Amino acid sequence: MFARLSQLTRHLSRPLPNYGHTSAAAGARTSIGAAIMPSSEDRSRRMIHTAGCIIIGDEVLGGKTVDTNSAHFAKYCFLLGMNLKKIEVIGDDEAEIGEAVRRMSENYDFIVTRQADFPNPEPKAIQTLLFGGIGPTHDDITYQSIAKAFDLPLKLHNDTLKLMKALSKPHPSQKNFSWDVPSPALDAKLRMARLPIDESRDEKSQVLFVDESLWVPISVVNGNIHILPGIPRLFTQLLDGLKPLLIPRLENPEGKGVYRILFSTPMAESEVAGYLTKLAAEVEPKGVKVGSYPRWGRKRNSVTLVGKDKDYMESLVPQIEKSVDGVRVEKEEDADESEDEEKGS
C-alpha cells in the first residue's frame, strides 16, 4: 500500500479521495444500459469533479527535459477541490496523442494537455520560442494531432494573430522580418495561430484569452480539453487566469471542503505500517485517505490524512499522534528543529 516511485511524485500526484462522485464525462445511461455521450457544449458547462493531465514531449521521455508543470497542476487541482485522476506522459506521436485525448475527454471532466518545458522567453519575444507542442516547427504537432483526433479543421484564428502582432516583436536574428511579406518565418508564426475549431460551435468558447498581457490563448477542444504552452511561466500564468472561469463549475471552489492534516513522526515506516493499514481501512468509508512518506536523510517521516469530513478527521488527531509517537505540523520540516538541536548538542 505504501510502495512508491518517489516521495515527490506521490506527494504531489496522489489523487484525492473518491468523494462519492464519478466523472460526468462518463455520460448518462438509458434504462437498457446504453451510454448517452455528452456533447461538447455539455462538457464545457457541467460541474467539474475529475481532472487529467497529458504531458507531450520526446524531450521528457528522453530525459532531456524535467517536467515541472504537472506538479504545479497537481497542487492547482488539490486547492480547487478537483480530483486529479491521472498524469500521463507520451511522446510526439500523432496516433498516441489522439488516443490519449479521446480517452481522457471521455473519462474526465477537465483535461490539461501541454508539452515539454522550455526556457522562459523575454516578455516581448514569446513568439520566437517553441512553447511546447504548439510552436512553429515540424515537431510541434499538438494542435494538428488533437484536431485530427476529433475531425476538426485547423483554422487561422484572427484574434490570436492580431494579438501576436501587437504583443510580440521579431527575434534579433529576424531583422528583415515583415508580417506583410511571405517568408518561411511568417509561415512558422502563422502555424501557432492555426487552432482546432469546431465550426458548429461559438468560437469564443473554444479560444480563451485569460491574460491580457499574453497573445497566447488556451485552445479548448471537445468542451473539456485545454491546450496550454509548456513554458512554466506561461503555463502557471494561464492556469491562474483560467481559475475564475472554473470556480462556478466546482463543488468546492478554492479547495473549501477538502482538507489535509500532516503529522511528523520519528518512527520508521515499517514500524507504523501495521497501524496505518488498519487506519486506512477504518477511514476509507468516510472518504478519507491515509498517506505515509519517508524523508530520506532526516530522522522524521510524515503521515497524512486527506478528506472532506473535517470534524471526523480532527477527531482522529489525538489517536494518530499517540500511535505514531508524532505531532501534528503545518509543514513537514516544522518538527525538524528538535532534530537539528539534537545534532548540535
Question: 214: phi > 0 → left, psi -120 to 50 → alpha, else beta; which?
Answer: beta
User: What are 120-162's pLDDT values in tens digits?
Assistant: 333 332 222 223 345 555 557 889 999 999 999 999 999 999 9
Cell of 244: 475564475
Q: What is the pLDDT of residue 79?
A: 86
Least confident span in 14-23, 78-87, 183-192, 295-304: 14-23
Distance CA 10, CA 259 (A): 17
Strands 83-90 and 207-208: unpaired
Compare 298 and 26 and report the one with higher pLDDT. Answer: 298
Amino acid sitting at position 313? M
Mean pLDDT for 36-42 is 83
Average pLDDT, the chain: 82
Nearest partner of 83 among 314, 309, 307, 330, judged by Cα: 307
Across 36-50, 84-98, 113-127, the highest mean pLDDT is recorded for: 84-98
Determine contact, residues 326/303, Cβ cutoff 8 Å: yes
The DSSP code sequence of 31-94 is TT--EEPPPHHHHHHSPB-EEEEEEE-HHHHTTSS---HHHHHHHHHHHHT-EEEEEEEE-S-H
What is the number of residues in the chain?
A: 345
Residue 147 parent element (H or E):
helix 142-149
What is the tens place of the pLDDT at every residue in 168-179?
887 888 888 999
The pTM of the full predicted model, rounded to 2 decimals, is 0.77
Nearest to 280 by CA among 308, 304, 264: 304
Is the pLDDT at 257 greater than 90? The verdict is: no
Sequential DSSP letters for 130-144: --GGGSSSTT--HHH
Q: Give the C-alpha distances (Å, rounded to integers) separating 211 from 19, 296, 315.
A: 33, 40, 43
Pairing mode, strands 50-56 and 83-90: parallel
Residue with more model confidence, 238 or 174: 238
Q: What are phi and psi of 138, to 5 degrees?
A: -60, -30
